[in-house]
Amino acid sequence: MTDLRVLIACEFSGTVRNAFLARGHDAWSCDLLPAEDGSNRHIRGDAREILNDGWDLLMVAHPPCTRLCNSGVRWLTAPPEGRTLPEMWAELDEGAALFSDFWNASIPCIGIENPVMHRHAKERIRNYQEFAQSVQPWMFGHPEFKRTCFWLKGLTLLTVTDRLDPPAKGTDEHKRWSRVHRMSNSVNRRHERSRFFPGIAAAMADQWGDQALALKRERLAA
C-alpha cells in the first residue's frame, strides 16, 4: 500500500477515483453531487474547501466547462433562449475562477482535463498556460471521437496505451465513433458527455500515479 494521496475533483462517476484506488493509492473523489456508485471514498461538497488537505496529486476530469470551451463561445454574444448575456458572462467568470483555483492549488502534481478553451476564458484564468497535450479516447482503446486537452503541472505527457484506427468519414462506423457528439438533447446529455473514459483513467493512474509517487519519495528523501 502506498501513501500517495490523490484528490479527483469534480467527479461523481468514480471512474478516475477507482482507477487510482485499483492501483493501491489513497484516492478520493469530490463533487457537489453524491457518488454515483455509492462509494465511501467520495466527499460531497465544494472541492475548493479541501484543496489544502495534504494531497500529492490533484486530478480534475473535468471541471464544468460549458462557458469555458470553444463550442460554447457563441452564447457570450447570443445567449440561449430564456437566458441573459450578463448571466452568461457571470457563469464564464465562475467557471474561470474554479479552474484558476484548481490550477493554482498548492499541490505538487496537477492534471486538469477540459475541452479547448476560448480566449475570454484564458484571459480570466490566473497564471494561465496553454494546455500541454490533447488526446482522443481512441488512443486509449475506446472506439470514440472526443478531443480533450490536459493542463499539467509536475506531470509529463500521457503516453498513448491502446491506439485504434479511426474509421473513414462518412461511414457508419464513423457515425458510431461520433456517439458523444450525436447524443440527443436530453437532460442527461451533459452528464453523459462529461463521463470520463476508463482507458484514459487507467493510463492516468498507471503513469501519473507512478510519477507523483516518485516525486513524493524524492521530496521525502530530500
Return residues touching ligand SAM (CB under 6 A). Answer: 9-13, 15, 30-33, 46-48, 61-64, 98, 194-196
Q: Give the residue with the Cβ less far from ligand SAM, 14 or 141.
A: 14
In whole angstroms, the minimum distance from the beta carbon of 66 to ligand SAM comes to 8
Q: Give the residue with the Cβ less far from ligand SAM, 61 or 109.
A: 61
DSSP assignment string, 8-41? EES-SS-HHHHHHHHTT-EEEEEESSPPTT--SS
DSSP letter at 152 equals E
In whole angstroms, the minimum distance from the beta carbon of 65 to ligand SAM comes to 6
C-alpha grid cell for residue 210?
507512478
In whole angstroms, the minimum distance from the beta carbon of 165 to ligand SAM comes to 26
CA distances from 118 to 36, 63, 74, 135, 159 (A): 31, 15, 10, 18, 26
CB 12, CB 36: distance < 8 Å: yes
Q: Give the residue with the Cβ less far from ligand SAM, 33 or 85.
A: 33
Q: Give the residue with the Cβ less far from ligand SAM, 7 or 155.
A: 7
In whole angstroms, the minimum distance from the beta carbon of 32 to ligand SAM comes to 4
Distance CA 80, CA 195 (A): 24
Selection from 158, 58, 64 nearest residue 104 by Cα: 58
In whole angstroms, the minimum distance from the beta carbon of 43 to ligand SAM comes to 9
Q: Give the residue with the Cβ less far from ligand SAM, 17 or 216.
A: 17
Selection from 150, 103, 96 nearest residue 125 by Cα: 96
